[in-house]
Amino acid sequence: MNHTQQTDRALYLNAHAQFESILRSRKSTTQQKRAALDAMDDLDRDYLSQAAHNLQQSTAQMQQFITLIEDIVAALEAQQQPLDAIDRLREIIEQANHVLRE
Amino acid sequence: MLNTHVAQEHASTQSRALPKHLHHAAALAGAITLIGFVALFMHGCAAAPPRAHLDDYREAFNAARDVAEQVLIETEIIWQEAEHIPLHDVAGDQADDWLAFDASPDRAGDSTREHIDLRLQFWRIAARYNEALLALAEGRSPDDASRSASCFADALRDLPIRQLTTIAGHFGALHGVLGESLAAIENHHARQRIEQAVLAGAPLVDQMFELMREDVTDLYDVHLVRYHQQRRAIDESLQLELLPSFQLLYESTGPREDKAALFNAVRGVLAGDLRYRDADLPAFGDSHTDDAPYSAQDHAQLLLLRDSIQQVGRQRRAIDANMQQTKQLLESYHTLLTIAQHQLHALQQAVEVGEPAPAEAVLHTSLAVFRELVNYRQGATP
């Protein structure tokens, strides 16, 4: 979490606390309470919009990395084939072993 | 050092005149020299990562993945439920959002589902990467080993194996060490391939872990907004409907004594579940309460309002508990991502720094083969 995000969240929570205080106060009129609720709504929409925007930006970066990782995985999986030469070596040793037993 | 020793020993042996009937052994020496070259080649290579590091990393990865999927699915539900989220125009005029029209192709189909799916895709593809690493660690692979072993196999194929039966006693020992050499070669090349795979893929997976860790903050904020939206809905209902209605009825009718229990119940909810400050607690009926009996309808209505306010208190407790659980879940997820990232770093470090190379095993095996040949020659020489 970077400094800007910390600051934004602190401001968001502080603003919510202030609007909630207006909403709960015995001194607040109904009109003031409605205004506080509307302000809360706007505040939530803005903050959610920012969070969604951040996630969207991360998605774009992730897409690039995932494509590269997929390429590597495809290359690795393509290599997982029978080892012909190693198998031939084993055959030779087995052949020698067989001859030895004869 | 050992290589030098082998080379010197080999050279001094070659300088002696060999009996003719030992020409098979000379061919054998060629193969052994080849093993020596393989050993020399391997000795210069970077050391390999220990399997334990790979296991630790995979274990941490799988734990993080389990939580990640849960977190992402939970977030998707909330994200989609949120109304009118302006994903693209953060600084735009919120009041006129519904009038905006954007039919550009890059916007079409750009949904929460796609953002979540891409994150889930990372966990799937990274799991496949891990399985590929595991396959390499288990020696189920690779073409490099195949190429190197091919030369070795061709050299061995030229050996007059049938004639070697004349030195059967010695071939038995040779057969054993050849097998060991082969195993060491396989092991070495598999490990080399792991090195390459780790060095190529790990930095990318590491970057993804970093992005996922940064993601946690934004995922938490999505949940945080949802939490406040739920609180706001409760407060709206309470402040604009339930409490005014309750206060109106409470102050207009009914005997004071009968209403004391109702009054205490409502204040209990506000002070307890909703954590109202004392200064904000409503002071009902200070000047308007009369002691006239209320109608059955008014009494029932007051009871209903009390129940509704108590229900609001329970709802608030539930959303508080849910938010606390969400916070703990995301904190655990963040921790698991950090652990998985550290284990990946350990794996990378093991590749770069390394441990005793398997080439040593090949070298010792080659030396053992060579000594066997020397002993044989010494025994066969008249």
Q: What does the DSSP 8-state code read for residue A2? A: -
Using CA atoms of B222, B226, B228, B232 in order, give the dihedral in degrees to the nearest 10.
Answer: 150
| B20 inside 8 A of chain A by CB | no
Nearest residue, CB atoms, B235 vs list A20, A47, A99 = A20
Residue of chain B with shortest Cα separation from A19: B232
> Splitting chain B (382 residues) into consecutive groups of 10 residues, what average pLDDT does each group show?
39 41 46 44 44 84 88 81 48 48 44 83 85 70 47 50 45 54 62 71 86 90 92 93 90 77 90 90 65 77 93 95 91 89 82 53 49 52 45
**Is B222 in Cβ contact with A85 (below 8 Å)?**
no
Residue of chain B with shortest Cα separation from A22: B280
Closest CA to A96 of B20, A88, B181: A88
Distance in angstroms (rounded) separating the CA atoms of residues B329 and B66: 12
| B188 inside 8 A of chain A by CB | no
Structure confidence by residue, pLDDT tens digits, B30-58: 444 444 444 434 433 334 456 788 888 88
Number of helices (H), then strands (E), in chain B:
10, 0
Q: How far is B312 from chain A (nearest CA, A)?
A: 15
pLDDT at A71 over 90: no
The total of other beta-carbon atoms located within 10 Å of residue B114's CB is 12
Q: When comparing pLDDT for B42 and A67, which is higher?
A: A67
Q: What does the DSSP 8-state code read for residue B283? A: -
Structure confidence by residue, pLDDT tens digits, A14-57: 999 999 999 999 889 999 999 999 999 999 988 988 888 888 88
* Average pLDDT value for chain A: 80
Tokens 């009390």 -> residue: B306
In this prediction, residues A60-67 reach a mean pLDDT of: 85
Q: When comparing pLDDT for B109 and A1, which is higher?
A: A1
ipTM: 0.75
Distance in angstroms (rounded) separating the CA atoms of residues B310 and B271: 12
Q: Which of B54, B106, B218, B323 to mutate to test the interface with A (most CBs of A within 10 A)?
A: B218
Contact (CB, 8 A) for A56 and B219: no
Q: What pLDDT is attached to residue B80? A: 72
Find the DSSP H helices in B238-295: 243-252, 256-271
Is this prediction's pTM over 0.80? no
Distance in angstroms (rounded) separating the CA atoms of residues B79 and B207: 25
Q: What pLDDT is attached to residue B270? A: 92
Distance in angstroms (rounded) separating the CA atoms of residues B352 and A81: 27
Contact (CB, 8 A) for B181 and B362: yes
> In chain A, which residues have their Cβ closer than 8 Å to the Cβ of B207?
65
Q: What does the DSSP 8-state code read for residue B293? A: P
Nearest residue, CB atoms, B186 vs list A21, A47, A86 = A86
> In chain B, which residues have their Cβ closer than 8 Å to the Cβ of A100?
165, 168, 171-172, 175
Q: What pLDDT is attached to residue B41? A: 40
Residues 6+ apart with CB under 8 A from B40: B3, B363
Amino acid letter, residue A40: M
Distance in angstroms (rounded) separating the CA atoms of residues B58 and B64: 10
Q: What pLDDT is attached to residue B193? A: 67
Q: What pLDDT is attached to residue B177? A: 54
Q: What pLDDT is attached to residue B254? A: 76
Closest CA to B124 of B61, B193, B59: B61
Distance in angstroms (rounded) separating the CA atoms of residues A81 and A86: 12
Q: What pLDDT is attached to residue A1? A: 65
> In chain B, which residues have their Cβ closer than 8 Å to the Cβ of A42?
94
Which structure tokens are listed for B22? 């030992």
**Is A66 in Cβ contact with B165 (below 8 Å)?**
no
